[in-house]
Amino acid sequence: MLLLAVLTLVIIMNAESIRSSAFVASILGNEVEGEPTTSYSLTPDSSNMFVVYNDGLSVLGSAGLTVFDKTGNESIDLAASFSKPVVKVAGKYLIGYDVGGSRFLYVKDSKLVQNVMTDSPVLTAEVNARGWTLVVSEKLGSKATCLIYNDDRNLVYEWISSERYITCSALSDDCKTAVIGGLQQKEAGLVSALKFISFDSETPYAIVEFNDVIILDVEFLNDGSIAVLTEDSVTVFNDDGTERGSFSFESDQLLDYDIDGEDFLLLRLARGSSDEISDVHVLNHECKIEQSISYPNIMAIDAEENYFGILTSNMVVVYNSNLEKQFTTGILTGNKGLLIDEGGAAYVLSTVEATIYR
C-alpha cells in the first residue's frame, strides 16, 4: 500500500509536469510576424510554475508567489516555501499549493485572500470560474478526502474515499458536481476509476473504470462534458457518465497535451521512432481529429479559449480554433515554456525571462 501511495504522488507530479511543459507542415493563413510587447524578469528556479492571470503572468516557485499585472509590475510578492508547487487559475481566481505539503494560497482579483496551512497534506486542488475550490487531501483513517469550499471559503461538501487513491479531479462551473480520478490495487493489478459526484449526495451517481491504465487528468469542458486523459487515450463523457467519444494513442507516446481550448483538445504524440519530429492533433469534443500537424523540435504546446500555440527550439506559432495562423516569430534558443492567453498572445518562458508576443 505504501508503494501505491508513492506511485500516486509520482503520477500527480508527472501529470502536472506534462501539462505545464511541453507542426514541417503549414496551415492556410498569412505569415504575420509576432512582436514582443512586454517582458518579465524572473528569478531562476527549476521549480517555477507559470500561469496567465488577469492579463499578466503569475509565478509560483520554491520561494513563493509573484503576481505581475499586465504592465509587468508586481501586485503580489509573497515569500513562502514550496517543494512541489502547483498554481491554477479560473477567471479572476488563482490558487497555489504544495503537492504533499500543507500550504494553500487563494487569490481573488489579484489580492491574496488566504495563505493557510491545511490540516492534512494536499494531493491536488482545483478552482472554478465562480471561485469555488476542490481540495483533495490525505486524512487519518482514509486514503483521501475531497473537500469543496465556496467562494466565501466555507466548507460546503466533504466526500471520503475509503478505497481509492485520488490522482486528479475537476469541479464544474455550476458548483453542483465534481469528477474524481483515482486508482486502487485489485487482484495484483491496478484499476483506475472515474467517479461522478453530486454535492447533494454522498454516493457517486456514476463510476467508470479503466483497466491497466492510469488517469492522468480530467477537465470539465465548456458544454458540461468531461474530458479524461489516460496513458493511452483521451475520452469525453457526457455529464451523466455516458461516453461521447474516444481517441486511442495506440503505440504512440503522449508527450504533451492541453484541454483548455474552447471547443477543441490538443495532443502532442511522438512520431514512431523519430526523436525530433512529433505530431500535434487537434480533436473536437467527440474526440475526432480535425487536423494533424507536425513540427521538428517542439518544446511545448498550449491552448486557451479560441487559440493554441506551438513553441519549437527557434520559433513560436499561434493559430486560432479555425486553424488559421495568427502569427509566427523567431525566438532565441533556450526557451522552455509557452502559455497562450484568451486573446491569442504567446508568453514565451525561459529560466530568467518571460516575453509576450502578439
Cell reading at 236: 469525453
pTM of the model: 0.87
Q: Do 176 and 209 meet the contact criterion of CB atoms below 8 Å apart?
A: no
Amino acid at 86: V
DSSP 7: H
- What integer pLDDT is reported at residue 14 of this predicted model? 52
Question: From first to last of its 358 residues, what are the pLDDT tens digits of the chain?
Answer: 444 444 454 445 555 544 443 322 333 334 566 677 778 888 888 899 999 999 999 999 999 999 998 888 899 999 999 999 999 999 999 999 999 999 999 999 999 999 999 989 999 999 999 999 999 998 766 678 999 999 999 999 999 886 657 889 999 999 999 999 988 777 777 889 999 999 999 899 999 999 888 999 999 999 999 999 999 999 999 999 999 999 998 778 899 999 989 899 999 998 766 668 889 999 999 999 999 999 999 999 999 999 999 999 899 999 998 888 999 999 877 778 999 999 999 999 988 888 899 8
Give the pLDDT confidence score for residue 302 in this predicted structure: 97
pLDDT at 163: 61
7: Cβ contacts below 8 Å, ≥ 6 apart? none
- For residue 162, the model assigns a pLDDT of 62
CA angle (313 as vertex; 311, 318 as ends), nearest 5 = 25
Cα–Cα distance measured from residue 145 to residue 123, given in angstroms and rounded to the nearest whole number: 10
- What is the predicted pLDDT for the residue at 30? 43
The answer to whether the CB of 85 falls within 8 A of the CB of 60 is yes
- For residue 113, the surrounding DSSP H or E stretch is strand 111-117
Query: What's the grid cell of residue 244?
Result: 461521447
9 phi and psi angles, rounded to 5 deg: -65, -40
Residues ≥6 apart with Cβ < 8 Å to 152: none
Helix, strand, coil percentages in the chain from 3-state DSSP, rounded to 5: 5, 55, 40
- Contact in structure between 188 and 235 (CB atoms under 8 Å): no
In degrees, rounded to 5, the angle at the alpha carbon of residue 67 between the alpha carbons of residues 154 and 155 is 10
pLDDT at residue 32, as a whole number: 61
The whole-angstrom separation of Cα 196 and Cα 213 is 19
Task: Name residues whose C-beta falls within 8 Å of residue 223's C-beta, 6 or more positions apart in sequence.
Answer: 285
The three-class DSSP label of residue 64 is strand
Residue found under cell 496513458: 231
Which residues 6+ apart lie within 8 Å of 106 measured at CB? 93, 94, 95, 112, 113, 114, 127, 133, 153
Cα gap 331→340, rounded to integer Å: 16
Dihedral, 35, 110, 133, 60 alpha carbons, nearest 10: 60
Residue-level pLDDT at 138: 82
**Terminal alpha carbon distance of the chain:** 50
28-71: per-residue pLDDT in tens?
Answer: 334 566 677 778 888 888 899 999 999 999 999 999 999 998 88
The 10 Å CB-count burial string (b at 16+, else e) for 150-189 is ebeeeeebebebeebbbbbbbbbeebebbbbbbbbeeeee
pLDDT for res 19: 45
